[in-house]
A and B are shown apart, each in its own frame.
Chain A
Amino acid sequence: MGAENIIFLLLFLVAFTLFFRNAAKIKRNIFLGKKVIPEGSKSARLKTMLKVALGQSKMTAKPVAGILHILVYAGFVIINLEMLEIVIDGIFGTHRIFSFAGSFYNSLIASFEVLALLVLVSCLLFFIRRNLLKLSRFRKPELNGWPRNDANFILITEVFLMSAFLIMNAADATLQQQQVQHYVQSGCFPVSSLFASLFIGLDTSTLIFIERFCWWFHIVGILVFLNYLPYSKHLHIILSFPNTYFSKLKPKGELNNMESVTREVKLMLDPEANPYASPPDSVSQIPERFGAKDIFDLNRIQLLNAYSCTECGRCTSECPANNTGKKLSPRKIMMDVRDRLEEVGKAIDKNGSNYKDEKTLLGHYISEEEILACTTCNACTQACPINIDPLSIIIELRRNLLMEESKAPAEWAGMLTNIENNGAPWQFSQADRLRWSEEN
């Protein structure tokens, strides 16, 4: 093992340790939310995951973006098979260790090259589309600053990584032609051979430098990228799997019934119940907050949703409120939950797990105006390519606003009083409910 191999091994170990440490933090943050029993059977959930995350069934609702995305995704995953070889070569100082597989190896490398080119072109197209075409969902205010840079950084990195891979192969092929020792005759390079002629005049040491540089750039790039994920919307390449696995299976129209409320209502309607009796032990004495004011009041699936969001804005571009100029943007709701969760997580890192600050999700991140504009139409949940449910969060926030803070807008207060008093949202007497049959 040479010095080069030891450096590689160290880098590799450091990168993965760092990554797992950050992953553990994300898990801890998600577990700040309330425990929730996932819906339905395991097999139904697995099916959803395979269809929506692996099969990307919802991506093609926008065909161009959908197909490009599938290319990038498939390409990126498959090319990373090459990682295995890179890691072994890196640790043991071998070169193209799998090349003994002969023609099978050659066809693998050939297909990696084709995929690399497709990924490269797709990422360039994505970059142009995101920055030059005036697509409104990429121009919403919630993307200003970091989120826009994040998206572009990912695309540029992928372009560089793929370029490094192809240039490395071109240099390697030229070295093979020069029959330089160590560079075994192997591989098939349909893409890089197209520009390998550029390298022909170069001397061996320059070529080796180019080949080594690209090799290191590729692997270090991937290790850096891995550690970039926890800070990025790109985390979805991992979390979209658990996210779809835990996503809603019930009809979209159905909202959950709050069990704490059910207990109270049952008690109220039960003529036998003694209103002064102390609640049974099963009813916890700690007063539960109605709805959600902060991330602690949301459940773990909702927090997982926030970390999984790709910030694609498909939800927002279908949202009737957003489309008519209201402040509400379901994408922003998800981004706000993640930002707040990160803020709380960092504070806990610094000050210990009991730390509480003065801020809350509703109020400091999300305004009443936003959540009040939602028509609960489910266009956002339908549009989301990874089954995120911004609506369930909006409803939890509204529950807090109405039941905990008693801050219903005046017209709603009137509507609610009417329902309470005469069983309809308007001021009509319940006794008149059959009047229509005489008005014919």
Chain B
Amino acid sequence: MSLKVKTMAEMMASGQTPEVLFWVGCAGSFDDRAKKITIAFAKILQHAQVSFAVLGSEESCTGDPAKRSGNEFLFQMQAMQNIMVLNGYEVKKIVTACPHCFNTLKNEYPALGGNYLVLHHTEFLQQLINEGRLTIKGGVFKGKRITFHDPCYLGRGNGIYEAPRELIYKLDSELVEMTNCKARGFCCGAGGAQMFKEAEKGNKEVNIERTEQALEVNPDIISTGCPFCMTMMTDGVKMKNKETQIKVYDIAELIAQANDL
């Protein structure tokens, strides 16, 4: 079944302006596991009757991994090209399920001429709930122990700790915090372009360390809000042979499941 997601170009052609642009990001577009997050979020948007569009084939990498690996040149090339597209469509508001895209679009694009209101999907979902446009059905996760792994670029990077937690409360589940949470959250190991290379020599992988921290609080579900954290935590749980007992989900997936979307 196709989700019938409209692109900006299609919207433009039919004279429509969406409320918000959904920035899908590279992981959300191409990574098999992350695509499920994209689909879950798009379904929630449709369910809440939010008028949204994507850029589709006009979207390109924000340049985050280029910038953080040290290739500022490529980052700015990407940024300027994306800004031309976004400004061409007069985009005002952007939502994304990737904290790396979120951080780059929100903080690093303005100086290059890209000024938008940028929201992480957990913030956007919380707003929908506050505005009464979305209700979360409790039940499915009642009594489940859910821990939240703070993505660095959402938490420390941009000070957003509460939006995802508020959503977990709404699920009627039990939020169990790791010792290293919020401002002291421990990285999953993917940031700073580490996702795209082997780690340097050490005595452990960062994602294993983080997974062990999560396992300490005996969760049924490890939740997060970043496609890269998703990869790292999923791999970590597998390495620990816990994938049958413990599931890793994005907050959007939890909400989609709760609402049976």
Contacts and interface: CB of A to CB of B under 8 A. Distances in A.
Interface stretch (A66-74, A148-156, A402-410): A402-410
B56 interface: yes
Interface residues of B, number: 77
Interface residues of A, number: 70
A420 B74 contact: yes
5 contacts: A251-B159, A252-B156, A412-B196, A419-B63, A419-B66
Interface stretch (A7-15, A133-141, A302-310, A428-436): A428-436
A323 to B, nearest CB: 6
B218 interface: no
Contacts, number: 228
Interface in B68-90: 68-74, 76-78, 80-81, 84
B216 to A, nearest CB: 15
Nearest to A397: B70
B153 to A, nearest CB: 5
B179 interface: no
Given A254-B107, A321-B202, A398 B70 contact: yes
Contacts of A125: none
A392 B69 CA distance: 12
Contacts of B65: 415, 419, 425
Given A382-B183, A416-B66, A437-B2, A377 B192 contact: yes
Interface string A358-385: 0000000000010011111111011000
Contact of B74 (A290, A374, A416): A416
A437 B209 contact: no
A2 to B, nearest CB: 59
Interface stretch (B34-42, B124-132, B245-253): B34-42
Given A254-B107, A265-B76, A326 B200 contact: yes
A326 B2 contact: no
Q: Which of A255, A328, A433 has the most CB of B within 10 A?
A: A433
Contact of B71 (A253, A269, A403, A411): A403
B150 to A, nearest CB: 10
A107 B56 CA distance: 75
Interface string A388-406: 0000000101111111000
B112 interface: yes
Q: Which of A255, A318, A403 has the most CB of B within 10 A?
A: A255
Q: Which of A401, A409, A412, A438 has the most CB of B within 10 A?
A: A412
Given A254-B103, A258-B72, A374-B192, A320 B209 contact: yes
